[in-house]
Each structure stands twice: as C-alpha cells, then as structure tokens.
Amino acid sequence: MKAAPRRSATAAPRPVPRPLVGGRAWLRWTHLILGGALLMPYWLLGTVLVGPLVGSANMFSGSLVLQFGAYAVALPIAAASALFPLVRPLSVAVARALCGIAEGSLADGPARSRAARVRTAAWFTLHVGVGGLVSGMSLALPPFAVVLMLLPFWSALRDSRLDVPELSEHGWAVALAPLAGILLLVALAACAAAAGALLARLAPVLLGPTPSDRLVAAERRAADLAVRNRLARELHDSVGHALSAVTLQAGAARRVLDSDAPGDREFVREALAAIEETTRRTVGELDSVLGLLRRDDEPDAGRDDPSGPTLDALDGLLAHCGVHVALTVEGDVATVPEPVSREAYRITQEGLSNALRHGTAAPVTLHVALSTEKLEITMENPLPAAEPVVRPGGGRGLRGVAERATLLGGHAHAGPDGPLWRLSVALPLPSQEGDVRWTRR
C-alpha cells in the first residue's frame, strides 16, 4: 500500500469557504440589488394600474395588497419588455461580471430566434422578481435588526419607540433581542446567497446558446476553417514549390562549381538567375496571401480580388521551376474563368513540386486540354529507382490538389502508372446557360 503523502509543516491552510459573506456572495448580492432597481419602474407602473382597483390613492401607502398587487402586475410587463433581442447581451454581460459564470456557458450576441427571446424574457423576469424581493428585505431587515440589537442597552428606545407593553414584562425577551437581530441578518445573508446561487445555476440554462445559436457558431467556425485551409494551401503550394526549385537549382550550381569544369560558368549564372526569379515571384505571391490575412478584420474588403496567379503565368512558372517540362496545350487557357484558372495554376505548381521532391532529373510531361465542359491537366514524370525520402508527418500537397479539385466539382487522381508517376485532374467549366458559379467579376 502506498503511504499517504505528508503535508508540509509550512503549507498554507486551505481557505475556509464563505458562502454567505465571501466576495462572490457580495457580487451576487449586488446582482440581485441591481435586479430590484430594474424592477422599480415596472413596480411604479403596477401601482398606477392596481391603485384604483384596491381603492388606494397613494401609491406609497403601506398597503400590502397594493404593493404585492403592483409586484404581480410588474412581472408580466418586465417579461414583455425583455423580448427585445438586445436584452440578452446586456443580461449576459451583467451575469458574467457579477454571478461568476464561466465564459463559454453563456451565449453571445442578440437573441434572434423565438426560443432565445423566450428564454431571455424568463431570465429577466426571474432576475428582477427575485431581485425585488431581496432588495426589499435588504432595505427593511437591517434597520429592524439594529433596533433589536440595541434594545437591551437603550431604555429610551424601549419606552418611546416600541408600542409593545408586554415586552417590558418579559426581561428574557429583551435579553434575547440582540440574538434575534443577528439571526435576522444571517437569515438575510442566507436568502441572498441562496437566491444568487439559484440565478447562477439557471443562467447557463436561460442565457446559454440555443440550438440555432450553436448552428450559427458551427457555421462560423466552418467558414473560418475553410478560409484557413485555403490560405494554408496557397502558402504550401507557393512556398513549397519555390523551396523545391531553389534547392534543386542551388544543388546543381554547387555540383558544377565543385567539378571545376571549364565552360560551366554560364550554367551557374543561369541557375542563380532562376533562383532569383523564383524567390522574387514567391515573395509577391506570399504578399498576396498575407494580404488576405490582413483583411480578415474587414470582411467586405477585397472579397472579389484575385488571390494568386492564373494559367496565364504558366510560362513563367515552367521557365524557373528547376526541371525541364514538355508542355502541350489544347485550347485557349485565357478563356478559362479566373477561379478555375487560379486553382489550375496551383494544382500545376504542386504537381511540379512533387516531381522535384520525389522524381528524377528526367523531363516532366505536362498536358493541358481545354474543352467546352472541362479543363484537364495531366502531368507525368519517371519514378525514381529508389524509394523517395518521406518527410516526417507526410506531405499535404496531393491532398490539397484533391481538395481544390473537389471544391470546384471536379476530381483528381495521383499514383504510379507503370514506370511513370501520373497526376490527372479534371475541373468542370461553367455552362453558358445557367451555371454562374465562376462568373468573372
């Protein structure tokens, strides 16, 4: 059996919980007092409506029928006023600040749905209703408790303030009056703590997110995730291709320099020029992607701006990709809609990066075919004799190619085909009759 851990002699004692007079209890009490203050205009309106019915001309009279009748009329009026959507964010802010509610358990934003408005009205009614009772007790009981505690020590108070002749005949009642006053204060604190705990327990139920709120939040998270994934694909394709091309060109230039062969200075110059051009183009593409990130705080800014190069820039990509590419094009790629053209450029870029990382130095064959219905991209390169080196965690390029094709309604396939590695992608083009998903703007 394991021995029980010994407590250090210098360990600080655990704090004693103070449910009645602790900091949280005082905050919740303040929350209840605020509810009573919010009830006052509704209560005054209730006295105006109930006063003529009970035959009272003075709304501040001590009639309990008038006061509780006005209280009963005030609660439905408060519930009706709480149906406005903006009541929920105000109630949530106050509950978080004063009731000690966890951050994620309450809903954010106005109450849009009917269920959310009904729940908010129920919470507001409960808040002002319980708060009004606790506020009334907080105003009435402390002065009475103080009188009871001073009663044995102040004869003038007993003679002039209390019209209870039997009290002077029972000395034990006067002696126990301070204890009764203390018990009244304790009872008040206990009622306030219990009411505060009740509101804190019901707040996540009444002010928490409804199913429609959760659906909206899920859609917002899905949209944010889609944006992040798109930007990740842009960065991966652009930077990954550039690094692969630069690595290949730099390695070739180093091997030429190490060989000290005459007449190879021109090859080194061309390799360095390719590295310079590739890095310059990649910096521009990186600025474009980072510009999308900087516009995240402005949802309407740059929404229709192009986010990268299109097939028109394919010649520049192939000229400095680090490997010889045999390109054949069928059709005019300038007529391809911009969204499809941008994704096709990225797919081609990723295919070249994959050939640079895992293929051989043999030429890559790239075939781009454009028809009235779809754009087809086919890329082939010889497989290496040895197993390619796989990066830890695996690459995400081919997965990104498949995601891009799927988002456009197409499909992609990559894998060995005999002695070749083959990447084939088909992207549908919008019809002339009704499909306007990729209309130029």
Query: Where are the domains positioned within the chain?
Result: 23-209, 216-428
Pair 343, 425: CB distance under 8 Å: no
- The predicted structure's pLDDT at residue 196: 92
Pair 125, 78: CB distance under 8 Å: yes
Question: 129: which residues sit within 8 A by CB, 6+ positions away?
Answer: 35, 39, 71, 75, 78
Pair 163, 65: CB distance under 8 Å: no
Phi/psi of residue 216, nearest 5 degrees: -65, -40
Pair 148, 181: CB distance under 8 Å: yes
Nearest CA-CA partner of 362 in 393, 384, 395, 331: 384
Q: Would you write out the chain's pLDDT as a tens digit for each of its 441 residues? A: 444 444 444 444 444 345 666 788 899 999 999 999 999 999 989 888 887 777 665 655 667 788 888 899 999 999 999 999 889 999 999 998 888 887 778 888 888 888 899 999 999 999 999 999 999 999 989 988 888 888 777 766 655 545 545 555 556 677 788 898 899 999 999 999 999 999 999 999 999 888 877 777 777 777 777 777 777 776 766 676 677 677 777 777 777 777 766 556 677 777 777 777 777 667 666 666 666 565 554 544 444 444 568 888 888 778 766 678 888 989 888 888 888 888 888 888 888 877 777 665 568 889 999 888 889 999 988 887 655 544 444 445 677 788 778 878 888 898 888 888 889 999 988 754 444 343 333
Phi/psi of residue 39, nearest 5 degrees: -75, -25
Please report, as a single letter, which amino acid is at residue 346.
Answer: R
Taking residue 76's Cβ as centre, other Cβ atoms within 10 Å add up to 13
CATH 3.40.50.1000 fits 216-428, yes or no: no
Taking the C-alpha atoms of residue 128 and residue 33, their distance in angstroms, rounded to an integer, is 9
